[in-house]
Amino acid sequence: MPAKNAQASRQGAAPIGATPDMLLDIVSYGRKGPGGILRFSSDELAQIRRTVDRAPEVMVKITGGGRDASSVQVHLDYIGRQGKLPIEDDEGRTHHGRSAARELASDWQLELCKGQYKAKPRKGQTDTRPKVAHNIVLSMPQGTQPEKLLRAARLFARTNFGQRHRYAMTLHVDQAHPHVHLVVKSEEEYEPTRRLCIYKATLRQWREQFAALLREEGVTANATARQVRGQMRTPYSTAVHHRLQALQASAQWPPEEKDRHRAPKTSTLLQAKIEKVLRLLGTQEQVIDHGLEAMQRTRQGVLHDWRTTAQQLRGQGEAKLAAEVDRFVESMPAVQTDARWLAERWKAQAKGRADLAPVAPDKGPRTR
């Protein structure tokens, strides 16, 4: 989001502080005004305000995809909660009941898709079969009105996939954050040789587009890279995120509930991380900070861009917003690797509470 050299941007040079996972592009499309001063447009000023005000960030993520017709039907049945929730298709029709997933899978003629009849890989081998469909989740934080989220998701799907790809969607409100599950058939309808390919740049574009659609619905929404917001640690995957939610919920159970139900298992991924950190503590503690130097370089690039943004805002007469940018930069947390964070947390807890170490301030699910 922060400013960078506009001329270098137009010439295709990498912006200061940019990495393949970041887009610091608030004024890469800026134009110089009178006197040759690069000026922010009203949209760019609004983007800066949303970011420093920490507006709710949209989430658009790929949660997988079926590689054969049966797996797509299973996922459609899952998002429809085995017939309890309606599933809306690309033609605006609503499918109800236990037969909804089967009807959609049959209507999409998934059995004709190329590659699904290849043999499944053995355990430990990579599955190279092409995806028959992509599973996408569009989400916003708690407090967002579900109806507005669904309307924005409907227009998002129609804009990106309408008349080319078959798709279906369902709104879920059973968790704190409302979200829409979107299933998109990979092959185009009239040109089956063309397939939907999703890259990191695609996800960034989708996030920005979905945030704009939500704002049209009156929902405050933003789409920025986590590094720009000062978040350096890599978010958890969906599976780990759900496991943490279950662990945190079980920690609040009353005694009678704990007696009746077995507590969820600790995330094996996070447990392995903790065990590795413990092995390193006292012997190779410096290894815990592996990758810190690269993270610090990224942070320095972000800080440089934000400070340049503040300077240009003052030159444009936006002193108040520039001061807010300064405060936003000062509030960024210190750079810390996952391993260092786990090590510090472990040191602060009693040895007998090692199993609770993964239940931490949640970073949320992975986003772009």
290-321 confidence digits (pLDDT tens): 667 777 788 889 999 999 999 999 999 999 99
Of 19-28, 265-274, 286-295, 333-342, the least confident: 19-28
Q: Which segments of the chain are extended strands (E)?
A: 31-32, 38-39, 59-64, 87-89, 94-95, 133-139, 167-172, 179-185
Closest CA to 138 of 186, 201, 182: 182
Within 10 angstroms of residue 236's Cβ, the number of other Cβ atoms is: 22
Q: Where are the domains of the chain?
A: 59-216
Write the DSSP string, 34-77: GGG-EE--HHHHHHHHHHHTTPPBPEEEEEE--SSHHHHHHHHH
- Residue 222 and residue 187: Cα distance in Å, rounded? 31
What backbone torsions phi and psi does residue 234 show, to the nearest 5 degrees?
Answer: -70, 130
Share of the chain above pLDDT 90, in %: 52
Torsion (CA) 126, 130, 132, 137 in degrees, nearest 10: 60
- Residue 70 and residue 111: Cα distance in Å, rounded? 9
Are the C-beta atoms of residues 225 and 21 closer than 8 Å to each other? yes
Closest CA to 192 of 123, 112, 297, 301: 112
pLDDT band at 27 (very low <50, low <70, confident <90, very high): very low
Residue recorded with tokens 């790929």: 62
Beta-bridge mates of residue 239? none
DSSP assignment letter at 354: G
| pLDDT above 80 for 348 | no
- Residue 191 and residue 23: Cα distance in Å, rounded? 33
203-236 confidence digits (pLDDT tens): 999 999 999 999 999 999 999 988 898 875 555 4
Taking CB atoms within 8 Å and a gap of at least 24, the contacts of 205-213 are 206/60, 206/156, 206/160, 207/58, 207/59, 207/60, 207/367, 207/368, 209/156, 209/159, 209/160, 210/58, 210/60, 210/138, 210/152, 210/153, 210/156, 211/58, 213/152, 213/155, 213/156
82-116 confidence digits (pLDDT tens): 999 999 999 999 999 999 999 999 999 998 888 77
Q: pTM for the complete prediction?
A: 0.72
- Sign, Cα dihedral of 222, 184, 365, 251: positive
- CATH class given for the domain over 59-216: alpha beta
Question: Percent helix, strand and coil across the chain, each rounded to 5?
Answer: 45, 10, 45
Beta-bridge mates of residue 59? 139
Task: Note the pLDDT of residue 259.
Answer: 57
Task: Note the pLDDT of residue 275.
Answer: 57
